[in-house]
Amino acid sequence: MVKTSESRRDFIKKTVTGAAALSFGGILPGFSASSYARILGANERLKIAVMGVNSRGLALSNNFAAQKNCEVYNVCDVDSRAAQVCIDSVRKIQGTSPTAVPDFRKALEDKDVDALVVAAPDHWHAPAALLASAAGKHVYLEKPCSHNPHEGEMLVAAAQKYKNVIQMGNQRRSWPNVVKGIEELHAGVIGRPYFAKTWYTNNRPSIGIGKPAPVPAWLNYDLWQGPAPRMAYKDNLIHYNWHWHWHWGTGEALNNGTHMVDLARWGLGVDYPTKVTSAGGRYRFQDDWETPDTQVITMEFPNRTTITWEGRSCNPHQIEGDSVGVIFYGDNGSMVITGGNAYTIYDLKNKIVKQVKADSVVNTGSLTSPSQQLDAFHLQNFFDAIKNGKALNADIFGGHKSTLLVQLGNIAQRSGKTLNIDPTNGHIKNDRDAMKFWKREYQRGWEPKV
């Protein structure tokens, strides 16, 4: 029995049930019985509120609902249609219906909610995570962790202040074969890796020229804008095209580049760069799209290594046979990690010396759920950190560093400058013009704080 003086959250952190091994035998391929023995009992599932469930958030909701040690308890969305679709979908998976709580801030007031999953647009990521942290909740935060560098630093400060668990959605940090590949890289399988090339390609259509329109009855546009200064509603903005507006989004660099740049940073063992440049622009169409559809970011580091990211939103020609990936070049060979849970090692004669193949299919073209089965490893790592303090595979401290790299690329692009960076903290040195993009303005009364 749980003592009445103990909170439910304290009980969750302390409880380990041996029955879990029997209950969860088929959830995650590769998990041993001993691993499951450390998972919470089904009767003490973590209760999750999900914010933003139209696209990626719907996939996350379904994945969280499929985990036997979790219950999707609240669905929070400014779109009443998306909320109902998610509720119906989750009910089919977990057997119970989550409650619609349109304003996620109300969910944060519920003492039964253990964690907030943030899958709303980018301009909401850090402000929502900060509110959740202050409310005593844990946070699963989709990439990018922040809209601008200052927000990322606020998240780091919040984690230090509130001591809560903040896991960033860099799911590949938990994919077993990718983890093995990085371990081999660190062990010197290709000698010293000194250059990592990352990429993403797609064939996105034009978003056209938006027209002012009445806000639909199903949308709470004021809450959708939240901390962003108010702008008039247009008919080509919601739900996906906000990605390509600096006011709310962060472009392809943070939308997809964050994933592979994070792997590159991990593989090379680097934190902050010394120099960042960017070239590119909106080349394919003339429309409302503001961020680059073609971009190459270069980041140099103090340990004599370099990372590049090539993003092509409007030309799908693949690199190394895939639309997304990273290749590491070293003294004695190369290692390729594309979009799946796999890697290939080459010697200097371009001969394959080792190939570890994926044990499940990853649809890298999917905008919502390219890798649900594999991502479950990441969710379980999040739960394990909450329950017993296990180290996160993608904590906010590293998540901020990886997000900052591509943010610096965007700042270099927007300012037209080569950025000289302090490698001890990632700050831009001696450039007032570039530093104008370090922070943003907020709608009065919505300013985030720690």
The pLDDT tens digits of the residues spanning 420-438 come to 999 999 999 999 999 999 9
Name the average pLDDT for the chain: 91
Give the Cα separation of 276 and 255 in Å (integer).
19
Q: Check if 8-173+380-388 and 176-364+398-435 are the same fold.
A: no
Give the Cα separation of 172 and 265 in Å (integer).
13
Specify the pLDDT at position 373: 85
Give the Cα separation of 242 and 177 in Å (integer).
34
Give the Cα separation of 301 and 61 in Å (integer).
38
**What would the pLDDT profile of 148-166 be if each residue is shown by its tens digit?**
999 999 999 999 999 999 9
> The tokens of 196 are what?
């990592």
Does the structure show a pLDDT above 60 at 195? yes
Task: Tell me the mean pLDDT in the region 182-209.
Answer: 98
Specify the pLDDT at position 113: 98
Does the structure show a pLDDT above 80 at 7? no
End-to-end CA distance of the chain: 37
CB distance 334 to 326 below 8 Å: no
Specify the pLDDT at position 362: 64
Does the structure show a pLDDT above 70 at 16? no
Q: What is the band of 366 on the pLDDT scale with cuts at 50, 70, 90?
A: low
Residue with tokens 């230090």: 160
Nearest 5°: CA angle at 221, between 220 and 227? Answer: 115
Give the Cα separation of 7 and 23 in Å (integer).
25
Does the structure show a pLDDT above 50 at 319? yes
Specify the pLDDT at position 23: 28
Specify the pLDDT at position 4: 38
Cis link prior to 144 (omega < 30° from 0)? yes
Does the structure show a pLDDT above 90 at 377? yes
Sheet containing 275-281: which strands, arranged edge to edge?
A: 352-356, 343-347, 333-337, 324-330, 193-201, 305-312, 294-301, 275-281, 419-420
Specify the pLDDT at position 443: 98
Architecture of domain 8-173+380-388: 3-Layer(aba) Sandwich (3.40)
Give the Cα separation of 231 and 249 in Å (integer).
14
Type of residue numbered 187: A
CB distance 333 to 350 below 8 Å: no
CB distance 416 to 292 below 8 Å: no
CA proximity to 48, closest of 124, 133, 139: 139
Q: What is the band of 293 on the pLDDT scale with cuts at 50, 70, 90?
A: very high
**What would the pLDDT profile of 234-250 be if each residue is shown by its tens digit?**
999 999 999 999 999 99
Specify the pLDDT at position 1: 36
Domain boundaries, the chain: 8-173+380-388, 176-364+398-435
Distances (CA, A) of 373 to 45, 55, 140, 363: 20, 17, 17, 12
- Write out the CATH class of domain 176-364+398-435: alpha beta
| pLDDT-above-90 percentage for the chain | 86
Q: What is the band of 44 on the pLDDT scale with cuts at 50, 70, 90?
A: confident
